[in-house]
Every structure is written in structure tokens, then in C-alpha cells.
Structure 1
């Protein structure tokens, strides 16, 4: 009995360390990647100056604020899911050990990318900075290419049929109305 308790305790300890390392790695990557793409670059482009490109811009500012809040919530939740469910990070150098299919990933395969785009478009609307729409288009093209040419083949190699089943059931860019439930 004591030996099985010690084995269980050792397993829990290793699992907790993996989770802690995944959480720290995800936090660092959060600051670097989305922080740079959706924070630093928009600031460099606009210095976060508020402009009034058209009369009656206020309703669009409200929409932008909602996009910012939603994007941030989805991004934080998705990053946390990588650490908790996948025992890894979204960073290519420390990928998850398990395929992440819970939370927002039940609705769309790329919630982080959509969240980052929401943050950029939200800032464009809040600030009235039209240059951020052009930047969002460039980022969309980069994300799409990266997913198609790198991430999807890598996920197929790592997770095989499990990823193929998930990919067939959950759309990449336009969220499902109802969550996917894996069998």
C-alpha cells in the first residue's frame, strides 16, 4: 500500500511540474508572440493615438471595445488550455504533448489566431486608425499560410488519426455554432 501511494505521489509531482513548466512557457510566449503582434506593432503603427476618421464613429468604437474584450478572453483561455490540457505551450519550440481540443477549440481550430485578429481590428475601431485594418490583412495572410503550410502538417505527423478526426469535425476559421464533442 505504501509503495503504491509513493508511486502515485511521484506521478502527481511530475505531472504538477509539467503543468507548471507549461504554464510558465505559455506565459512567456503570450508576452512575446501575441504581445508583439497585437500590442507592440499596433502601438508602433499608431502610438495609440485616437482619431476620428468618419463622423459618428462612436458605435464603431463600442464594437471595437467588445472585440478587444472578447479577443483577450479567448486568447487567455486558449493559452491556459495549452498548459492545462496539452501540457505544453503554443510555442513551436515547446508544443503540447496532447492534442488540445477543449474550450474554444471545440468551436474552431484556430481560436488564438482569431483572438489576435480581434485585438488588432478592435484597436483599429477604438482608435479610429485605419492603418490597423491593412495590418490585420497582412497578419491574416501570415496566419493562414503558417497554419496551412506548417501547423496542420505538423499536427497530422504528431497526432495522426486523432488530429484528422478533429480537423474533419471542427472548422479552421469560422466557428461552429455548437461545440464538437469527441468520441
Structure 2
């Protein structure tokens, strides 16, 4: 399992966005758009946390083997990784707020790192722990939004 908590990647991404967009001032339109994206992202991640709590299972991404249930309701109906979607959304909101195309590079880097390191390790642990129940969910629900894998 990767040993870096995903929120650390988000924090690094926020710092990188700040450095990549120095001197850019947010406009009212960018501020409003960023606020809407951020609110939606917090809602998605918060809904995922509530779904985990409702099933009384862990959502510690560094210990997926401690999961006691496969969560398939709430935002998990649309993506297997709503918390990562929420984190990517927060980075996207900050990129919109900061302005400039370079501000989106950390968003892409976050998605790539999480998609290639964190999620496969979690999926392996969940598949091992829940077998066909998880595999059926995995086959029916996209990893991100609108993608199948």
C-alpha cells in the first residue's frame, strides 16, 4: 500500500498551483465558478464520508483491508472513488480561482498519481476481502466519473 495519505498530495497540489500562478488575481467570475466547484466537491466527499459512517466501515485509504463493507450507495452509485473525485474537484476549483492553464497541471498530476498508485492497491485489498461482491460493484460502477475500468 502507498504510505502517503491522499490529502498530502492535495496539499502539495495546492502549493504547486499557487507557485504556478503567482501574480494572477482572481476575477469575480472565476471566484464564483471556483466556489461552486468547491461546494460541489465538498458535498461529494462529505456524502462519501457519511456513507462510510452509515455502513460503520473505515475510510482510511492507507488501510483498505480494514474495510467491513462494500459501500455502494450515495455517491458510490456514480463512482467507486467519490472522495478522490471530491479532492480532484477541490484542486480544480483552486485552479479555476488561480487562473491560467498551468494551474491545472497539479490536478492532472493528482489524478494520475491516485489512479496509478492508490486506487489499484485499494482495489486489490477490497477484491481480496470481499470477492465477488466487490468485483460485481467494480464491473458496474466507474472508477472516476463516466469512465469504466
Q: TM-score range by the shorter chain?
A: 0.7 to 0.9
1:173 and 1:44 map into 2 onto residues whose CA distance is 23
User: 1:50–1:77: structure 2 CA closer, same or farther, 3 Å change rule?
Assistant: farther
User: 1:98–1:104: structure 2 CA closer, same or farther, 3 Å change rule?
Assistant: same
1:130 CA drift (Å): 4.3
Q: Contact (CA 8 Å) 1:81, 1:102: kept in 2 or not?
A: yes
Q: RCO greater where, 1 or 2, for CA within 8 Å and sep 6 or more? A: 2
Match runs of 1:112-127 below 5 Å? 112-127=83-98
1:85 and 1:175 map into 2 onto residues whose CA distance is 25
- Asked if 1:66 corresponds to 2:39, the answer is no
- Asked if 1:109 corresponds to 2:80, the answer is yes
- Asked if 1:78 corresponds to 2:48, the answer is yes
What is the RMSD of the two structures over their aligned residues, measured on CA atoms?
2.8
Match runs of 1:24-103 below 5 Å? 33-34=6-7, 36-39=8-11, 41-43=13-15, 45-46=17-18, 51-52=24-25, 58-93=28-63, 95-103=66-74
2:61 and 2:83 map into 1 onto residues whose CA distance is 12
Query: For structure 1, which runs of at least 5 residues remain unmatched after alignment?
Result: 1-31, 177-183
Q: Spell out structure 1 runs of 4+ moving beyond 6 A.
A: 47-50
Pairing partner for 2:114 from 139, 143, 167:
143
Q: Contact (CA 8 Å) 2:17, 2:98: kept in 1 or not?
A: no
1:122 and 1:45 map into 2 onto residues whose CA distance is 11
The TM-score normalised by the length of structure 2 is 0.77
Query: For structure 2, which runs of at least 5 residues remain unmatched after alignment?
Result: none
